[in-house]
Amino acid sequence: QVQLVQSGPEVKKPGASVKISCKASGYIFTSNYIHWVRQAPGQGLEWMGIMNPSGDSTKSAQKFRDRVSMTRDTSTSTAYLVLSSLTSEDTAMYYCARDKEVVIVPARGWLDSWGQGTQVTVSS
Amino acid sequence: SSKVTQDPAVSVALGQTVKITCQGDSLSTSSTTWLQQKPGQAPVLVIYGQDNRPSGIPDRFSGSISGDTASLTIFGPQAEDEAVYFCVSRDKSGDQWVFGGGTKLTVL
């Protein structure tokens, strides 16, 4: 079955960067888009960006555009999110999610499988 | 960028029908996805492509759209359906996505 397993919790100081991994299994990693979504404590979901693991193309939300990087390692079926210049407002649970749509057509936002989440805490 | 609006909370009596709505100016041109999130858990896909259910999702969940409003209808909700429901849709730009603020469903 499709499974996304994320890296463990992180505690970072303001101004630092964090790198989160999302290891996929149970399907062909390069066949489906990967989205990144975060959720601040007690808040709703916030879309951060999308990556095409086949061609490494990415698109991020405007508010993150200058400090987010999404990459992948196809040899290990792992997607990565790097968020830099962290502030306390970046304290949140970060999720990767697979788009049910395959990469030969535009993504649909059909988020059919989710990682377990990675808690990132930014504190001095 | 687009904005998608949901009612913050809805309650329904056990066995009655409830409709959770999502309004936004990009909804009429894009399929809307519905997610269910229970406390301490990752979201779960319940409806995609307007009205498709993944395997394992009960057929009491149904999606629809009318104009700029997408709806998730739960026919005869059960206690286990108590959760926060989020809609997500493509932004007007076409290459980004936007979530609604979420609707907390209480089953009485």
Burial (Cβ within 10 Å: 0-12, 13-18, ≥19) of residue A9: exposed
> What local confidence, expressed as pLDDT, does residue B1 receive?
66
At B19, the pLDDT band (50, 70, 90 cuts) reads very high
Nearest Cα residue to B87 out of B1, B13, B2: B2
Task: Answer whether B97 touches A (CB < 8 Å).
Answer: yes
Distance from C-alpha of A33 to C-alpha of A98, rounded to nearest angstrom: 6
Task: Answer whether B44 touches A (CB < 8 Å).
Answer: yes
Contacts B100 to A, Cβ<8 Å = 44
Verify whether the Cβ–Cβ distance A95 to B45 is below 8 Å: no
Which residues, in sequence order, are bridge partners of residue A83?
A: A18, A68
At B28, the pLDDT band (50, 70, 90 cuts) reads low
Q: What is the mean pLDDT of chain A?
A: 96
DSSP conformation letters of A83-112: E-S--GGG-EEEEEEEEEEETTS-----EE
Verify whether the Cβ–Cβ distance B48 to A47 is below 8 Å: no
Q: How far is CA A112 from CA A23, A49, B72, in A?
A: 15, 16, 17
Model pLDDT for residues A49-96, shown as the tens digit of each residue: 999 999 879 999 999 989 999 999 999 999 999 999 999 999 999 999
Contacts B98 to A, Cβ<8 Å = 47
Residue range B79-103: mean pLDDT, rounded: 92
At B29, the pLDDT band (50, 70, 90 cuts) reads low
CB proximity under 8 Å: A 92-121 to B: 95, 97, 100, 108-117
C-alpha angle B46/A48/B6, rounded to 5°?
Answer: 50
Residue range B51-68: mean pLDDT, rounded: 93
Distance of alpha carbon A101 from the chain centroid: 17
Residue of chain A minimizing CA distance to B102: A44
In this complex, how many residue pairs, one in chain A and one in chain B, have their CB atoms less than 8 Å apart?
A: 62
Model pLDDT for residues A7-55, shown as the tens digit of each residue: 999 999 999 999 999 999 999 999 999 999 999 999 999 999 999 999 8
At B49, the pLDDT band (50, 70, 90 cuts) reads confident
3-class SS of residue A45: strand
Q: What is the mean pLDDT of chain B?
A: 92
